[in-house]
Structure 1
């Protein structure tokens, strides 16, 4: 057991962060007893916000801070850089935290859209494939459109999430720093094209031309070039370069690109119109803010529609598309107009990340829907004329069938070279499944990866392998068992989904048919794996909470394989209180635990009545000796330090769990009998002894009746057991079954006790025999630990006590042991009786022989009494020895006792003497005395 405890300690060495308990506490508050379903739904819908804030807080704490000496005021002009994180482990942790922040941000945006607190029962879940509705009820404003179209609202939420992600990136000025430096204008960010303006002024002075330069003769105009020799624009209009097909000075070209990069980033990050105006005003480029203000979709959700009639805004979008496709001097300029027009190709050209590509497509889908709305606000002839004269990009038509559109987009990014690596990262893959409304499949495949990982080296009881539906799975796309942060995230996402679906069912809403039963069982392995992590992190008290999310029978199975490790009775009581608090049936739990553990023992490997794996061997080899008889083997149970097989230790623990629940006592008896049979069939005596010591029949009986052990005859009364069942309110067992199980349990326990008593005596005899020949030297006389000299009264008193215990424990085996159930047809008990009884009684005879020669001849007299019991006409022992072919051994053993009694030289010691009793029975040792 000690080595087992060390093993458990080693396996449970994980040190979890505070977020593990914080997440659990937040979840627990949502499921507090007494809350209505509506209240629970409200709290669960708010959980992603709490988890999001928790992740943000941890990220802030993880990021390095500027060091301060604490003296004086802070010099705001002094630039003090934030120290860079260089430790790879810290970098990885920060990156994971950033991804977790993004994941919870996405969940908190999408979850309320698909699981609102009050919704029609027919509405589909976010986590089922989206239903692309028909044209929503006519809306009169853009805000009303977003409120009435669930698909538009969801896409808007995804765009806001992508905008928020982008906002957490580097500062926009930092992104444009290199371009700004190449613009060769120092820190000046205003006043437009400085270098081009200078060149134009210089040209006018050089040619003494007071008019516009484009009015100069072609010969003179041909020499008007920039520093690279390319034709230079002749005026500073914003569209001069495109209109004249000329270039700017190279430095101004960098400046222009920097400004367009900034404009794109502001749109990509969802900056508000005020922010864009201020940014453009700093650069004296207000016309750009105006050109981008037709339809702004800022991250704060305050959509801005230009103060213009719908036809004008629709036309503006088409002009933006024309610029994106046919105009612009730079990719970012075309991307800006492409983003405003809802184009995909021009925006994807500057996309760098997975987020950028998703944004390009979702922005196009959203703006297409808005354009359709605007056209619906126009007079029919105006709308028709506009669509015929000015082309627009229809992203919905581009993506094809609306059903499964999002999933096709996500799958395409997994195979696209520029996004494949990022798309297959577990956090991003999880986010993608949420966006694609394919979370059920993702969780199913995630569970398959986890269970495959758990069963890689050996079969896992907590996470049994489940059959795949044949889908090809890319393991690196999912979290592994060792990625505890990822496991925590995905487990809680599953918990949110499962709880909300459960609330739907309780409220009578249409069930989600997307997740079939096979998928659900597999998905539950995610939570099961997380409970395994909690166990390893010594957070056992959190396990019942997460098991309560699972559906029976998985709920009880996962709880069982976690709780089976608990060794302390006080902690078992505490766990049962927690289990009851979260709404799990404690009786069902302990019964499931015991059944699962017994099934895991694999008792089917030995058929009823078949040969046992190993015969019981108590006696030493060779003929009986005058002093010891045959002699009992010392430690025939096995080494006391040996660890009982884990499966068998679990079987004993499962019965201890059953004992903690008052109404489970019939199962204690029923399963206890099966466990005893299993141990004895395999001669696993150490395990049988543990069961005998830790689950005692007397304790079971006292728990049932709240009284001390009464007359044993009462236990064979069916009415007594009927009364106990009635008082306990148990209807799942019959009095006859309980009576039989109680009798069998008690009699098998008697065998374990008898064997234990024999082994104790055999070990003490071995100690006395080992030192019988050692003289009492001074140096050895002090070695009390290893020597039992003849005069050691304490030792021989202990031997006498062992003999007394042995005789008491053997009595139940000497008459009718197991016969009642054998007569009822129990073949396993018949085989046990046949295999154990002859060897045990021979061991008893040898024990009496040894006690008679070492303590008192009265024990030899008792062996003679035992001989008469065996020889009686109605004895049930004779047939056992005859059938076993061991009657000769028994006769020789009794003969050896008789001889030892006859040649005994006198009374040895009176310890444990039973002379009075023997004399009352007509025996006297003087009958065997040999006169000298």
Structure 2
């Protein structure tokens, strides 16, 4: 080879390579080296096939001729061939199953070929492997080699160990390479927690699933086709888009409008996850967003890929700033996702169907229907996440759960706004019901907002702060009005509560302005009273005369000073502007109101708002020597004079209603504000705003502080005569002339908000209980959602340890649990049951649910949910069993049934054992209950039911119970009652074995006995030969049948005799514990079962021809050691004697004995 060291890009042409044939460049064609011409090979087909084939055979001496059968019919795959195909294509399990499914659809598989065998193909090998400390290895090599069909000779195999950067592998290699390698050890060298998955892949995968699920003939997919016309059809069909294209669709409203309800629901969920989870920030309610995505994609029919399941089950591992670093810039790192596994922990699922409310029927309501019903699920998920987190012990964590509830409600409200655009296609009743539900959900959202603002006062810290009211206030010399107000809010909890109510109402108004900006609309112009100005200019130019009522000057005070008006158009503009400013002030947006006034050319009015700021000089808080650059002074030193003037302005009748209300809000004049109030919120805000203003003003005037100048300006006496207290305010609201205000005050959420604001929690709980005492709520009534709200509210009250009545709170929670049961939301009930304060109520409530479950799978799942919720499983199961037994379980044992079939009543009783077998701690109870049921069923001749109960009991139940006894009691002797239970179980075990053995013999004797061949019709030689062959075959079958029958007979005889000769007596207790009912049942069983077994034994021996052994039954019955004759009635003894007589006659006829049963000589 050539040495290329020392050469660079410029001198590489000087490298001399060796003259190798494998490295010689191809020779270019020229005149001397022409391009070769290839002849037409068609003539080859004319050569005799036989001659060519024979010549080839002669040239290949090792050729072994074979005959290949060719057919035009399809060659079907058997199981071996299908497995080989999957192996040759190197397909994983999912792909191999898909291939087999497609071949099955084309009828290319043999009937016995299974394409789903790949699902569990590793199960037979799992038992040979174990894992310790992250290393998976084979604990026994010989069985796994034999299981693969290879002979295991240790000397023929060697171990090969390979270590790479990703893993450590250990395999067995065959010395002769006749068999493939066998993996026997594997250990990943990379921590599974460090396996990363970029968020971009998840985003693109979700988009691909969404597009694939779209209707290709629908408007949505057609819009995508038109928008991205430059993409190929294949890319559009499978949904291959990059992030810039996805962002274009997110910003395009037309794309969203082209969707139907299900598509829009899934798209909105995807956008929410992309912005609030896969973006730069993770929303607090990210779990709800992801669950909404899973549900909406499922409803759309998306194929749920592993990425979506990863998103669902590992959302807690995603970092907070998932999209902080772009993944699409070359050379820039992306923010990784932590991937621990790809298994999804799905939400509990049951086979029951949930009813669809009648008032939400219709295709146009699909999205709203889904979201409204999902409110129950979303609230449950939020509560469950909160209860499982450590933050449930902190005030901030509780407050965060309240915000989650708000987010859930606001999403449903937004979906209603979207639905309202298509309301023309809905029926009038549907529109009315939707509006009612929308109103209820809006008020629920407002109430959760109120709870958020009152949270600090509702917590224990807020209640403890009330102690400051009784403490003696120190005389403190405050330096400013601002410090006085801050101190008042610090020590007076009532003022803090009033301020929280005002902030809540202003927040609602602000949100309303954000949703409906037209409510505060004003003309976008920067000239004040331009129409009046135009008329004045025309008057000065002597073009038109001046109207008498029109002002002659243009300063802001001209209308008030001259007692004249602006032009009609300007008056309308002023009214619109005043209304806009009022709504801004109503929402607490003073700065926005000032900006609006400045934009429309009224800076003087904007400056009025500055006069109400509390005076504060921050330079008083620092030492004089530290003041180098004095801080600016805040507020208005002459605020008292400003307030007096603004009060007078609010009383000026020449101003419109909204302008007077604005001045009244600034000066605390309630009578000037109320005419502008049209709703309950407005009226309450005005009253509390003025009440808070009076508190501030009173505190400022009665607390000494630095003031430059004389005493403060006295306000009108009516200001101090405004007797405003919460009770008086709400009483006035009840008496207002506006009907809508009175109606809301008496509504459910109006009453709830009233009790919350006035701190009447006990009265609120009483009121809520009274709502649900009479009648049941249903889906057509939004009271179902009201019950959901009240339940989560009382749970919230308990978490912040409010002094509420636990019994009444439990009543509300139980009502919600009953509602969830009616709606078949069984998976949620465990969480709410655990929130009950009374433990016995928890047991009763959850037990009632378990009795309604339709199948064993749902029962087990509900018990798992209860266990996760921390409920007492043993008590719940015991209560359920007692309830089921209480349904006519104590019936008369003399009521003998004529039918052995299982009734619904019997199946429900047998189900008791399934409950008790859920937990090993309940095994002793399961055994006791099972034996009691067996006694009951056998006493009523229900053998099949008794047998089913016995089969449900584990075969090793006695060993488990004895081990439990040893672990708890040591080597001490078992108790008397336990000994009785053990013997009773062994007695039943022997009895059922005897009955099963007799049934096996009976079935074989009468159904498996060979039939003799028919005699030949002809007497010719051939018929005789055939007949002899058949007879010979029949004789062989009879010999085989006789041997097997003898085995069955002997087994049945021994097992029946084991019951009759049971040690200590069958069904006799070892210790008499005084249980009269149990003893009566067992005595009845002895009288029923022992004679019956004797007669079965006789029929078995008689049919088999053992007449002499039949006589031994009589000896066994009359034996004084067992005294079985005492269990026979007179009729049964008579029947037994007759049977003995019959056996004696048959024996004498066969000359085996005389009539007395003695052998004949």
Q: Does 1:518 align with 2:807?
A: yes
Residue of structure 2 in register with 1:460 after alignment: none
Unaligned 5+ runs, structure 2: 1-348, 357-372, 615-631, 1016-1036
Task: Quickly say closer, same or farther: Cα 1:850–1:739, change in 2 above 3 A.
Answer: closer
- Matched residue SS, 1:169: helix
C-alpha offsets along residues 695-715 of structure 1, whole Å, 9 cap, x if unaligned? Answer: 24x4322223459xxxxxxxx
Distance 2:732 2:984 in 1: 67
Per-residue CA shift, 1:274-326, capped at 9, x if unaligned?
222111111112233333444479xxxxxx998224xx545555555555456
- Of 524, 528, 535, the match for 1:192: 528
Instruction: Label 1:687 to 1:426 Cα distance change in 2 as closer, same or farther (>3 A).
Output: farther
Shift of 1:615: 2.0
Partner of 2:834: 547
Q: Which aligned pairs between 1:483-562 and structure 2 lie closer than 5 A?
A: 483=785, 489-501=789-801, 512=802, 514-525=803-814, 528-529=817-818, 532=821, 536-537=824-825, 539=827, 543=830, 547=834, 550-562=837-849
Pick the aligned partner of 2:1089 from 810, 831, 840: 840
- 1:858-916 CA distances to partner (integer Å, 9 max, x unpaired)? 4x7766544444433454654444xxxx4314532563475378559999xxxxxxxxx
CA deviation map 1:111-168 (0-9, x unaligned) = 233326xx498457xxxxx998789777733233323322222222222222222222
Where do 1:222-301 residues align within 5 Å? 224-225=547-548, 231-238=549-556, 240-241=558-559, 246-271=564-589, 273-295=590-612
CA contact (8 A) 1:59 1:98 kept: yes
What is the SS of the residue equivalent to 1:593? helix
Distance 1:64 1:354 in 2: 26
Q: Is the 8 A contact 2:813 2:832 kept in 1?
A: no
Distance verdict in 2 for CA 1:121–1:320, change over 3 Å? closer
Question: 1:726 maps to what in 2?
Answer: 969
Cα 1:615/1:569, change in 2 over 3 Å: same
User: How many Å separate the matches in 1 of 2:974 and 2:654?
Assistant: 89
Distance in 1 between residues matched to 2:575 and 2:1046, nearest whole Å: 100
SS at match of 1:287: helix
Quote the residue 1:637 is aligned against: 900
Task: Output the CA distance in 1 between the equivalents of 2:747 and 2:1046.
Answer: 70
Q: Which residue of 2 aligns with 1:625?
A: none
1:655 aligns with 2:916: yes
Which of 604, 610, 614 aligns to 2:895? It is: 614
- Return the alpha-carbon distance in structure 1 between the equivalents of residues 990 and 382 of structure 2: 50
Computing the radius of gyration from Cα coordinates, the structure with the larger value is 2
Alignment equivalent of 2:714, drawn from 380, 386, 394: 386
Given the alignment of the two structures, is residue 830 of structure 1 paired with residue 1134 of structure 2, yes or no? no
Sort the Cα spacing of 1:259 and 1:146 in 2 relative to 1 into closer, same or farther, 3 A.
same
Q: CA RMSD in A?
A: 5.7
Contact 1:597/1:647 (8 A) holds in 2: no
Q: In 2, Cα distance between the equivalents of 1:425 and 1:109?
A: 21
Cα 1:102–1:828 shift into 2, 3 Å: same
How many angstroms apart in 2 are the aligned matches of 1:331 and 1:796?
Answer: 112
Question: Would the alpha carbon gap of residues 744 and 202 (structure 1) be closer, same or farther in structure 2, given more than 3 Å must change?
Answer: farther
Match of 1:72 in 2: none
Question: TM-score, length-normalised on structure 2?
Answer: 0.52
**Residue 808 (structure 1) aligns with:** 1055
Task: Confirm or deny that 1:160 pairs with 2:407.
Answer: no
Q: How does 1:61-460 map to 2 (within 5 A)?
A: 98=442, 101-115=445-459, 119=461, 122=464, 140-170=483-513, 174-175=518-519, 188-202=524-538, 224-225=547-548, 231-238=549-556, 240-241=558-559, 246-271=564-589, 273-295=590-612, 307-309=635-637, 312-314=638-640, 316-317=642-643, 320-324=646-650, 327-344=653-670, 346-377=672-703, 386=714, 389=717, 391-392=719-720, 394-397=722-725, 399-400=727-728, 412=734, 417-419=739-741, 421-422=743-744, 430-443=752-765, 446=768
Change (3 A) 1:683 1:896: closer
Tell me by how many angstroms 1:853 deviates: 6.0
- For the residues of structure 2 that align with 1:683 and 1:453, how far apart are their CA atoms? 45
Q: Is the 8 A contact 1:655 1:672 kept in 2?
A: no
Contact 1:321 / 1:337 at 8 angstroms: preserved in 2? yes
Given that 1:818 and 1:833 are in contact with CA atoms closer than 8 Å, whether structure 2 keeps it comes out as: yes
Distance in 2 separating the partners of 1:176 and 1:544: 45
Please point out which of 697, 701, 710 is paired with 2:958. 701
Q: Name stretches of at least 5 consecutive residues in structure 1 with no aligned partner.
A: 1-6, 66-81, 125-129, 181-186, 214-223, 226-230, 298-303, 458-474, 502-511, 618-635, 708-720, 777-789, 908-922
Return closer, same or farther for 1:679/1:695 CA change in 2, 3 Å cut-off.
Answer: same
Aligned counterparts of 2:959 and 2:800: Cα–Cα separation in 1: 45
3-state SS of the aligned residue for 2:956?
helix
| Contact kept in structure 1, 2:897 and 2:940, CA below 8 Å | no
1:49 match: 403
The structure-2 alpha-carbon separation of the partners of 1:352 and 1:928, relative to structure 1 and needing over 3 Å to count, comes to farther
Q: Which residue of 2 aligns with 1:819?
A: 1068
**1:527–1:546: 8 Å Cα contact kept in structure 2?**
no
Distance 1:668 1:414, change over 3 A: farther
Count residues in correspondence: 738
Q: For the residues of structure 2 that align with 1:275 and 1:249, how far apart are their CA atoms?
A: 27
In 1, the alpha carbon distance for the partners of 2:571 and 2:868 equals 69
Displacement, 1:27? Answer: 1.0
The question of whether the paired residues in 2 share the 8 Å contact of 1:294 and 1:313 is answered with yes
Q: Relative contact order (alpha carbons < 8 A, sep ≥ 6): 1 or 2 greater? A: 1
Aligned to 2:351: 9
The equivalences for 1:694-773 within 5 A come to 694-696=952-954, 698-706=955-963, 723=966, 725-727=968-970, 735-744=975-984, 747=987
TM-score (ref. length: structure 1): 0.64
Which residue does 1:899 correspond to in 2?
Answer: 1142
Aligned to 1:30: 389
1:208 to partner: Cα distance: 9.7
Asked whether the 8 Å contact 1:901–1:925 carries over to 2, the reply is yes
| Cα distance in 2 between the residues matched to 1:28 and 1:248 | 63
Alignment of 1:899-918 (within 5 A): 899=1142, 902-903=1145-1146
Residues 803, 851 of structure 1: 8 Å contact kept: no
Inter-partner Cα distance in structure 2 for 1:339 and 1:258: 18
What do residues 37-73 of structure 1 show as CA deviations (whole Å, max 9, x unaligned)? 9x655533433234445655676788759xxxxxxxx
Q: Distance in 2 between matches of 1:658 and 1:682?
A: 30
Tell whether the 8 Å contact from 1:314 to 1:371 is kept in structure 2 after alignment.
no
Q: Deviations over 1:20-43 (max 9, x none)?
A: 5741453144248xxxx9x65553
d(CA) in 2 for partners of 1:645, 1:416: 65
Q: Is the 8 A contact 1:547 1:558 kept in 2?
A: no
Distance 2:1043 2:495 in 1: 91
SS in 1 for 2:724: helix
Distance 1:306 1:757, change over 3 A: farther
Partner Cα distance (2:862, 2:942) in 1: 32
Q: 1:293 to 1:833 in 2, by over 3 A?
A: same
Q: Which residue does 1:599 correspond to in 2? A: 882
The secondary structure found in structure 2 opposite 1:190 is: coil
* SS across alignment from 2:739: coil
Q: CA deviation at 1:496?
A: 2.8
| Counterpart mapping for 1:778-789 below 5 A | none
